[in-house]
Amino acid sequence: MRITLLSLLLLCLAAVSPARADLHITRDHGGYVEEYKAKYQRVREKGERVIIDGICNSACTLVLGIVPMNKICVTPRASLGFHQAYYDKAFTFGIKVTSAAGTSDLMSYYPDTVKDWIRRNGGLTTDMKKIKNGMDLWKIIDPCPEEW
């Protein structure tokens, strides 16, 4: 196998280039819990990093319990939103019907820091409870370092 000057240069550039997040969350309003579990399981297995750089609501927040916390960081634009799990409104004639089992499942994934914040803020309800950039968020997730 012959190594050309160009391929050697590209290899050197790749070695010294700053690492980038493999998953960049900017505007995620959630969705089906099982899909998020599978997605974040793949991220964890690959050892990928996650930057939360905007809205991460609902099922998106499962990232906090599936991907190792040392692989997640937040920017000043980050916010997290939590609420009770509910059934797909397509099957409940547009009515939001909460799921105790689904809510319990969500809570089982969250690290203690998230559970503590949820408890201090009245527990999960049908209303979205948000954590925006600041001390409360930084107690849960580290701010992103410059090199991320």
pLDDT in tens, 10-58: 444 444 444 455 899 999 999 999 999 999 999 999 999 999 999 999 9
Angle value at C-alpha 79, between 73 and 84, nearest 5 degrees: 115
Q: With bands split at pLDDT 50, 70 and 90, how would you rate the model's confidence at 92?
A: confident
Residues in CB range of 21: below 8 A, 6 or more apart = 48, 49, 50, 51, 148
Angle value at C-alpha 34, between 28 and 38, nearest 5 degrees: 80
The reported pLDDT for the residue numbered 123 is 96
What's the residue count for the chain?
148
Q: Kind of pairing, strands 50-57 and 23-28?
A: parallel
CA–CA gap between residue 46 and residue 95 (Å, rounded): 38
